């Protein structure tokens, strides 16, 4: 019998219990052993819920029970999630999590402790919810040098951007609607400011490049400055605006950032709308691959967690995944990162556009009758520092969005 303890009976934790109970016969076949949830840790009571039978509010009961093989951490936040995970690993128990905050901050340390104790620390659900991406990076793609990972890794912001595009609505209006419908958190800061995808791209990059990427080193820009007017231009250009977490492995080093990008239909991420996520991976032998699906939500995320549970149940006393090196990735300074820009400016192409051409050379101008008194231009790719120095010399810049238009 494989005994599982679930820490936290919130959305994901209750999903994990549901998946283990609903698909128990299948899991038993896959593991070739019985599996049950022996404990659920939560300080709350759940009167009438069958979970009552296995509920405990004392982590030590789980820690000191030698029958517990696998601990599922679905608490969220760093403390006590990190402390409980560490203690469980040191006690020789396998741990898996959906908690990207802990993985981004302490993943290397927890994997090292797991290895020292011949157990596993797994986190498939921490990036892309139900989409398999971590296991492919750890196994299927290990024959490739990974050249790029670019993803739409946040369902909340992709939902907001999709609505802004489809309805021409303002950011504030769509955010309020998303909160009323329960799609966006009451405090949506981590999503809309890009902190959530920043942690996710750091985790994926650490695996892909086998070095520690510190999410705090990344340039991180969310979607709060985007306006309905930006989307009028996007429509005119046959483009969409998407929040990317992206890292590229260049000859000069690794560039990584989170920011909104304007893309057209030639980009494989163009059709990823609503709460869906997708992660594009380029390998030096593989070429392009894309992983698409439900990036958030109770059962998709729980499905990924239970995938880890099965893997760990098959390897209870053997560490499966390589621990990435603790050498820190030195990210290319943002001013040296190459990007093209879409820029809105007050004035007209015939007047203010002259200065734009003088400074930026070969640009593409865009005007729309819907927005008189302004125009936009799209630069070629250039180091961000060069763009900033030139842009400072143009009076009346309204906004800018990075561009990956073909």
**What is the binding site for ligand HSE (CB under 6 A)?**
129, 154-156, 191, 196, 295-296
- Beta-ladder partners of 310: none
Contact 263, 405 (CB under 8 A): yes
Contact 180, 174 (CB under 8 A): no
Is 102 or 313 the residue whose CB approaches ligand HSE more closely? 102
* Residues across the chain: 406
Q: How far is the CB of 26 from ligand HSE (least distance, A)?
A: 25
* CA-closest candidate to residue 376, choices 385, 391, 165: 391
Contact 22, 64 (CB under 8 A): no
* CA-closest candidate to residue 205, choices 108, 306, 98: 108
Is 113 or 190 the residue whose CB approaches ligand HSE more closely? 190
Is 84 or 159 the residue whose CB approaches ligand HSE more closely? 159
DSSP state of 331: B
Q: How far is the CB of 344 from ligand HSE (least distance, A)?
A: 28
Is 94 or 294 the residue whose CB approaches ligand HSE more closely? 294
Tokens linked to 297: 């939500």
Is 11 or 399 the residue whose CB approaches ligand HSE more closely? 11
Q: Which residues, in sequence order, are CB contacts of 51 under 8 Å at separation 6+?
A: 9, 14, 17, 40
In the block, tokens 């009076």 appear at: 395
State how far the Cα of 84 lies from the Cα of 72, in Å rounded to an integer: 10
Q: How far is the CB of 124 from ligand HSE (least distance, A)?
A: 12
Is 122 or 237 the residue whose CB approaches ligand HSE more closely? 122
Through-space distance between the first and last CA atoms of the chain, rounded to whole angstroms: 55
Q: How far is the CB of 302 from ligand HSE (least distance, A)?
A: 12
State how far the Cα of 27 lies from the Cα of 35, in Å rounded to an integer: 7
Q: How far is the CB of 132 from ligand HSE (least distance, A)?
A: 15
State how far the Cα of 312 lies from the Cα of 121, in Å rounded to an integer: 9
Tokens linked to 331: 């990210």
- Beta-ladder partners of 348: none
Is 128 or 353 the residue whose CB approaches ligand HSE more closely? 128
Question: What region does 287 belong to: left with phi over 0, alpha with psi -120 to 50, or beta?
Answer: left
State how far the Cα of 158 lies from the Cα of 17, in Å rounded to an integer: 28
Q: Which residues, in sequence order, are CB contacts of 243 under 8 Å at separation 6+?
A: 152, 154, 157, 158, 161, 194, 197, 222, 223, 258, 259, 260, 261
Q: How far is the CB of 154 from ligand HSE (least distance, A)?
A: 4
Contact 132, 126 (CB under 8 A): no
Is 47 or 182 the residue whose CB approaches ligand HSE more closely? 182
Element (H, E) at 308: helix 298-314
Q: How far is the CB of 155 from ligand HSE (least distance, A)?
A: 4
* Residue numbers annotated as active site: 200
How does 322-357 read in b/e, with b if 16+ C-beta sit within 10 Å? ebbeeeebebbebeebbbbbbbbbebebeebbebbe
Q: How far is the CB of 86 from ligand HSE (least distance, A)?
A: 22
């Amino acid at each position: 019998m494989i005994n599982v303890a679930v820490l936290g009976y919130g959305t994901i934790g209750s999903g994990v219990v549901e998946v283990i109970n609903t698909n128990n016969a299948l899991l038993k076949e896959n593991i070739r052993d019985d599996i049950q949830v022996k404990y659920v840790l939560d300080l709350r009571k759940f009167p009438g819920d069958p979970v009552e039978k296995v509920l405990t509010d004392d982590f030590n009961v789980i820690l000191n029970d030698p029958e517990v093989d696998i601990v599922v951490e679905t608490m969220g936040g760093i403390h006590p999630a990190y402390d409980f995970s560490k203690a469980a690993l040191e006690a020789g128990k396998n741990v898996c999590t959906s908690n990207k905050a802990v993985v981004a901050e302490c993943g290397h340390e927890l994997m090292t402790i797991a290895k020292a104790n011949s157990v596993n620390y797994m986190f498939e659900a921490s990036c892309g919810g139900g989409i398999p991406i971590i296991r492919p990076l750890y196994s299927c793609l290990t024959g490739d040098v990974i050249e790029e990972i670019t993803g739409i890794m946040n369902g909340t912001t992709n939902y907001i951007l999709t609505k802004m595009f489809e309805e021409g609505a303002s950011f504030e209006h769509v955010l309020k609607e998303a909160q009323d419908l329960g799609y966006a958190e009451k405090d949506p800061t981590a999503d809309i400011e890009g902190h959530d995808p920043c942690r996710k791209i750091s985790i994926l990059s650490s695996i892909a490049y086998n070095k520690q990427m510190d999410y705090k080193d990344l340039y991180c820009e969310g979607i709060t400055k985007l306006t309905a007017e930006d989307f009028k231009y996007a429509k005119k250009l046959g483009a969409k605006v998407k929040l990317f977490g992206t890292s590229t492995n260049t000859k000069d080093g690794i560039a990584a950032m989170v920011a909104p990008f304007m893309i057209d239909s030639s980009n494989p991420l163009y059709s990823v709308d609503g709460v869906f996520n997708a992660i594009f991976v380029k390998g030096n032998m593989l070429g392009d691959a894309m992983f698409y699906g439900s990036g958030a939500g109770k059962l998709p995320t729980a499905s990924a967690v239970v995938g880890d549970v099965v893997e760990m149940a098959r390897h209870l006393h053997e560490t499966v995944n390589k621990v990435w090196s603790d050498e820190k990735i030195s990210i290319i300074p943002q001013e040296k990162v190459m990007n093209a820009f879409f820029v809105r400016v007050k004035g007209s192409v015939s007047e203010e556009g002259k200065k734009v051409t003088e400074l930026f050379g070969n640009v593409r101008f865009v005007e729309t009758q819907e927005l008189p008194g302004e125009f936009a231009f799209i630069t070629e790719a250039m180091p961000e520092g060069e763009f900033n120095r030139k842009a400072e010399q143009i009076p009346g810049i309204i906004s800018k969005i990075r561009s990956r238009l073909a």
